[in-house]
């Protein structure tokens, strides 16, 4: 957010953000399991 205050640039496919993207995806999957998300 410091560099993109309005969140105008999607960085999901930016290789320099690969590690953080994978960490966030894993965390989201874990939260969905904990909450018994039916779409999991």
Three-state secondary structure call for residue 3? coil
Q: For the chain, give every domain's residue range.
A: 11-39
Q: pLDDT for 1-40, tens place per residue?
A: 789 999 999 999 999 999 999 999 999 999 999 999 998 7
pTM: 0.73
Alpha helices in 1-40 (DSSP H): 18-34
The H helix count followed by the E strand count for the chain is 1, 0
Query: Distance of CA 13 to CAs 16, 17, 19, 22, 34, Å?
Result: 9, 8, 11, 11, 27
Contact at 8 Å (CB) between 5 and 11?
Answer: no
């Amino acid at each position: 957010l410091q560099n993109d205050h309005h969140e105008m640039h999607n960085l999901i496919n930016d290789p320099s953000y690969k590690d953080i993207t994978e960490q966030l995806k894993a965390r989201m999957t874990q939260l969905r399991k904990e909450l018994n998300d039916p779409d999991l």
